Structure 1
Amino acid sequence: MVRPRWIAMLLLCLVVAGVFAWLGQWQLGRAIDTAPVQKSTSEQVKPIADVVKPGEYLDDRLVGQKVAVDGDWVAGDFIVVSSRYNDGVEGYWVTGQLRLKDTATPTSLAVAVGWTPDRAKADAVASALNASSGGARLTGRLISDEGPIVPDPNGDPLELTRMSPAALLSRWHDVQGLDVYRPYLTSATPLGGLQAISSPAPDERQGVNWLNLFYAAEWAVFAGFAFYLWYRLAKDAWEKEVEELEELSAGVDERGV
């Protein structure tokens, strides 16, 4: 393998593998550059009806979309949800039922109106809001339903630890014939002296062209194959030479005998 011709072939393989590696890097760059993602529109406030319909699941691409809603609070339906985190600090949300205006059928949206680390304050704010009603024009981010869970058998059966409009619906009043949005809204403006809910803009992800990514992997395989081919050819030639030497040595021994 250290003979001049095999060293020359190794150098040729290095050149070929380098070309393949460059092509693979080029394809890898195109896998990202040729599939740009359109700039997110999540920060553009849209009417909720333009984003999702009542009863529909929220598309993953629309999670965090800012929307505007106009409605009336339903008195008695402000409920505390626990296990809510604001910038890593555990606390509580106060949530309410907002009955939207200008809808063909009665339609409601679950709204988280603020956060506090103090359970007593959360209960006090919910009680104060339940004692009144009124209209509200809100903006906030639309978030997917977390889904209900089975309550802890050793805990309070009325304790809510998930932000689930389906679970809240079972506690709301006047729900006969009601349409409900599956996602919920985190209000940009807190109520009742609560703190604003930390709800940052969703991350923008870079698009990937999977076909170009596959081509990049192919070029890497080709580069590896170039070295393997050199190795097999050199090894086969070496084994052949060893075999010929063994045959020659065996022939000399037989003549000597």
Structure 2
Amino acid sequence: MFTTLLRPKFWAGHLAMIVCVSAAVGLGIWQLDAWHTRRADAARDISNLKPVGLGTVMDGDSSFPGRSVGRPVSFAGTWLADSTLYIADRYVGKKRGYWVVTPVRVDGSQSVMPVVRGWSAKAESVAPTGPVEVTGWLQASEGSGPVDDDPHDDVIPMMRLASLVEHVDADLYSAYVVARDVTGQGGPEAGGLRSVSAAAVPDVSGFTALRNLLYAIEWWVFGAFAFFVWARWCADSWKDEGESEVDPAAAAEVEPA
């Protein structure tokens, strides 16, 4: 069988199998590595690094820089007091309450950065006004979760930027900041709020970069299918070759009278 299938007429089929399976395995490994890398980037703790200017990490038109989750950043701007929102089901110890979020229009930009000013037991606070300088931890938008039952109030179920868009009449950064230090109005102390630390941000979801993992599995399934097709082709080709090489005279001798 192997001698037959190694004839030059079959080389193109073998080469096609090798190329397809190698490509599928390689692309699967690449997607698996991307899955590991993105999850590692999302989970690593860089919250104790020295703060850098927000503009060195991203601008209002940038997608979220995955390797900067939890990075301390600083920026100056002006509070948008009328757009203050409350994120439900946030805890301090065992106490359930709200994150108080007020956007800041960043100086030198037309975009707005949502800032988590602190935690409150009730969905109410003194909205700050005027200029401010903020230093805090950069965070990515939270993923899927509960739907906002009442989009007309100022309480939303998750820190999801798609939900904030409905309440903030300005272009939003693709991120938010958990305030650590606030110079000017709006600090946790001034509003009677409790500080929120980077540790209070939800952990990396099990669904983070799940698409990359599914792509890896998908590529390997394609590779297995290509190998299966090649194996069937080899079996059929060997059978056809064997039948074509049978001596007609010898076949006639064994035929019944």
Q: TM-score, normalised by structure 1?
A: 0.50
Name the counterpart of 2:73.
68
Name the counterpart of 2:86.
80
In the alignment, does 2:231 pair up with 1:226? no
Name the counterpart of 1:167.
166
Change (3 A) 1:231 1:32: same
Give the Cα separation in 2 of the matches to 1:84 and 1:244: 87
Change (3 A) 1:193 1:59: closer
Change (3 A) 1:169 1:51: same
Name the counterpart of 1:255.
none
Q: How far does the alpha carbon of each residue in 1:164-213 deviate from its partner, in whole angstroms, 9 at most, with x for none? A: 3322325xxxxxxxx633423141649421543325579687998xx9x9
Q: % of aligned pairs identical?
A: 12
Change (3 A) 1:12 1:194: farther
Aligned-pair CA distance for 1:66: 3.5
Q: How far does the alpha carbon of each residue in 1:17-43 deviate from its partner, in whole angstroms, 9 at most, with x for none? A: xx9899887666654678976x77885
| RMSD value, Cα | 5.7
Aligned-pair CA distance for 1:214: 8.1
Name the counterpart of 2:99.
93
Unaligned runs of 5+ in 2: 182-187
Give the Cα separation in 1 of the matches to 2:73 and 2:134: 7
2:172 corresponds to which of 175, 181, 184: 181
Does the aligned pair in 2 maintain the 1:23–1:219 contact within 8 Å?
no
In the alignment, does 2:121 pair up with 1:137? no
2:152 corresponds to which of 154, 157, 162: 157
Instruction: Work out the number of aligned pairs and report it.
Output: 212
- Considering Cα pairs closer than 8 Å and 6+ residues apart, tell me whether 1 or 2 has the greater RCO: 1
Aligned-pair CA distance for 1:96: 0.9
Give the Cα separation in 1 of the matches to 2:250 and 2:201: 74
Q: How far does the alpha carbon of each residue in 1:118-177 deviate from its partner, in whole angstroms, 9 at most, with x for none? A: xx7042xx41x4268773422322435989x9964xx5831433533322325xxxxxxx
Pair member with larger Rg: 1
Change (3 A) 1:97 1:243: same
Aligned-pair CA distance for 1:100: 2.6
Give the Cα separation in 2 of the matches to 1:235 and 1:84: 75
Give the Cα separation in 2 of the matches to 1:114 and 1:229: 72
Give the Cα separation in 2 of the matches to 1:61 and 1:228: 50
Change (3 A) 1:138 1:12: farther
